[in-house]
Amino acid sequence: MALLQISEPGQSTNPHEHRLAAGIDLGTTNSLIASVKSGKAEILNDEQGSDTLPSVVRYTANKIIVGTDAKSAAAKDPLNTISSVKRYMGRGLTDIKELGGRRPYEFAEGDSAVPRIRTVAGDVSPIEVSAEILKSLKSRAEAALGDSLTGVVITVPAYFDDAQRQATKDAGKLAGLNVLRLLNEPTAAAVAYGLDKKAEGVIAVYDLGGGTFDISILRLHKGVFEVMATAGDTTLGGDDFDYVIAKWIMQQAGINETEKDISHHQMRRLMRDACAAKETLSNMDSAELNIELDDGSNWSGHLTLDVFNELITLLVQKTLLPCRRALRDAGIDASEIKSVVMVGGSTRVPQVRDKVADFFQQQPLTDINPDTVVSMCAAIQADVLVGNKSGDDLLLLDVIPLSLGLETMGGLVEKVISRNTTIPVARAQDFTTFKDGQTAMSIHALQGERELVSDCRSLGRFTLHDIPSMVAGAARIRITFQVDADGLLSVTAREETTGVESGIEVKPSYGLTDTEIETMLRDSIEHAEDDVTARMLREQQVEAERVLEALQAALADDGGLLNAAERKQIDVAANKLSELSNGNELRAIKDAITELDKAATEFVARRMDGSIKKALAGHNVNEF
């Protein structure tokens, strides 16, 4: 018998006012979509009753196939069947090629920074492949709910950078979805856990999926979910476990060719069988292997849990480094963590659970389904954002994973928003011109923890024109960085005296190197002392340049105030500073600036006297 929904007077949602929303977990291996039905988040199944959709797309001459059928065809049609495309989102062609050996695809050469994969249906980008997965999920939701979706929330790894987040939003737009928000996966898991357990205190969310790893430290208090710190690795996941198993099988089966020479079909079969063995070893002590080789023969063997653990030990240890960093950033010890929530299918691996238990000194929580928890929380958030439910009892406070700043003179980075700042956030800082008469300023937005531009990631550039012509340092230019709830950045620059303004919504070029995100913070720690020294050196070099330019302008105007001996003394000091400013001796540059100041002291005094006399000319002292 059907039950009637009963609400307080005036608080029921009219049918025509109820908007359909969904939460999407766009995963590396599998994707899910959930929606709130009768006040409860539920995973939406396909016509066959399956809740997961394999994140695999196959391109044929006549149609595009998504999901289970595409996955089953991967071994026989590897070049046209794309899986784990999430690893390629927001990356450049050069970076993809570095990963290319891991996936049997052919990438098209071209002028675009966005990589394109060659298929029988034409070249496609990772964004287009992801859009096909999202289209399939959209169709599933609309069939299950009986109407079109008003909006969706898509989850992303916390350590996705601006390019990867923008690529995800672009894929949603291409799929015809109204993307209400991007939600960090670990935050979604913590929300689901908090709502379910009514928890208070500090929680760690260990999220190891098919292609990415995140660790987030959150404080839960009275419905507020505050991310204290986050860290991770966007190129580490269950795919890497499959890969080391595949390499081991190659050695055991006597496949001696280098990976580059292995056929696409063979590599696909190896990765498929390796994944199956990994899943078996989550519950068994041994997995039987029967590998079909290119010559038509078969190799049989078995992989024990002990050997599997040995193969993946370094990979599991690699996930603990970001855990240490996140605890340090949060300013807490592992003993202060109340609970550890496990998210992602790869957390089913026994060694992962054991190592996490040892690190955090407690057994992690595994009673929540690691595959569905993220999409269900996204559905709850989507339901709030479309207006079906008040969000007063739920507040999500996420953070940015890497500092944002801009380039200043000398190739230095001035941080405007520091890492682990809660979003959304807006921060402004005032800057000025470097040269006399400067009428434009180039703004270069960067992301990273290092002191020099060359060591950080470029996000975008724009130019502020029509600055009034003034002496150096007189203009006041306010630059504002704003990060929205999706973690996407916009930058504006405004000259305060005239109100002239310019800005960009940063859509960074796809060109992130394979190891950049995962090494940025580690490098910032390892090179902290060197970075400080390098920054001090560049600042002194910039100061030397400023002093020399100002001196040359002054000599051009009032050089006649000096006799030959005085001019020679200044020229010698200036030449010495010019020569030293190109070197790496910080103390020598400082001393040379001091020497030049001393040599020019009398000249400066005479110029000042001359300026005062000029200002007083024609006036009586009583007027002042």
* Separation of alpha carbons 510 and 130, rounded Å: 16
Helices and strands in the chain: count of H runs, count of E runs: 15, 27
598 catalytic? Reply is no
Which position among 46, 207, 242, 514 bears the catalytic label?
Answer: 207
| Cβ count within 10 A of residue 497 | 12
Contact present, 33 and 24 (Cβ < 8 Å): yes
Distance CA 120, CA 105 (A): 12
Residue 106: active-site member: no
Task: Pick the catalytic residue from 51, 95, 185, 455.
Answer: 185
Q: Where are the beta strands (DSSP E) in 400-548?
A: 404-408, 412-417, 422-423, 425-431, 441-447, 457-464, 477-483, 489-495, 501-505
For 558, phi then psi, to 5°, come to -135, 30
318 is catalytic: no
Catalytic site includes residue 613: no
Q: Provide, for the chain, the percentages of residues in helix, strand and coil under a 3-state DSSP scheme, each rounded to the nearest 5.
A: 40, 25, 35
User: Buried (b) or exposed (e) across 124-147, using 16+ Cβ within 10 A?
Assistant: bbbbbbbbbbbbbbbebbeebeee
Sign of torsion over alpha carbons 433, 437, 438, 439? positive
Angstrom distance (rounded) from CA 374 to CA 352: 19
Pick from 582, 523, 531, 513: which is nearest to 413 by CA?
A: 531
Catalytic residue from among 86, 169, 355, 389: 86
What is the distance, to the nearest Å, from the Cα of residue 496 to the centroid of all Cα atoms in its chain? 32
- The one-letter amino acid code at 457 reads R
Q: Which two tokens stand for residue 577?
A: 């500073």
**Beta strand pairing call for 179-184 and 151-156:** parallel
Q: Label residue 558 exposed, middle or buried (CB < 10 Å: 0-12, 13-18, 19+).
A: middle
- Active site amino acids: 25, 86, 185, 207
